[in-house]
Amino acid sequence: MWNRRRYLEMNYIYYGNESCDIEGNVSSIDIKYNGAIKLYPKSPNNYFLSVGKDRIIIAANVNNTLDHLFKYEGDFKINSISAFNISEKVNCSIIKSMHYSEYLHSNAEDLTLLSEELNSTYSGKIKIKETIIIDNISRRLHTSKTKSQLYLEGKKYKGWYHVLEDGSAMTGRIPNFNSKQLSKGLK
């Protein structure tokens, strides 16, 4: 059934000037975009973050919402988004923040910059070939290549894993909600 109050509660994703943030009650977001960027996460490490070709997925852990998503370098233009609060799809407007003057609620005559200086674009200062995440997490590691001795619940573990910023190893190619803690060295 249509809920007028829920419909009117808007969420906003802001991007431009090498930053992407969200405002409202959104616990996960799927961003479809054009470009290639170096992505610097601003959300906590225990949040799920996945990057694929022209797609970024971010999810907060249980009972949390997203806010500051990431900073970036390179070309980035959001085409569409799907936003969710827990498992329910919610409305979310895309706001392109190309220059700080867009936030001013004033007259054009009050600006201290010349209009010729307002030249922000979707393109960054540097060209990036492929979107990558820049943080202190080592992803897509495999025990057969790293020769690491890892254990899951006392049994020798073989397979994909990742290492978090604090040095702890967890199962899976990338951090996700199903990752399990691995122990190193002796059982």
Domain boundaries, the chain: 4-98+129-133, 138-184
The Cα 26–Cα 13 span in angstroms is: 10
Cα separations in angstroms, 2 against 6, 77, 83, 89, 166: 9, 31, 18, 13, 46
Instruction: Give which of 81, 82, 83 is closest to 26, Cα–Cα.
Output: 83
**Which two tokens mark 51?**
């990057």
Q: What is the pLDDT of residue 174?
A: 83
Of all residues in the chain, the percent with pLDDT exceeding 90 is: 51
pLDDT in tens, 60-100: 988 899 999 999 999 999 999 999 998 899 999 999 986 55
Task: Give, for 146, the enclosing helix (H) or strand (E).
Answer: helix 143-146
Q: What pTM value is reported for the model?
A: 0.71
- From the number of C-beta atoms within 10 Å of its C-beta (0-12, 13-18, 19+), residue 53 rates as exposed
The Cα 155–Cα 151 span in angstroms is: 5
Mean residue pLDDT across the chain: 83
The Cα 92–Cα 80 span in angstroms is: 10
- From the number of C-beta atoms within 10 Å of its C-beta (0-12, 13-18, 19+), residue 131 rates as buried
pLDDT in tens, 23-43: 999 999 999 999 999 999 998
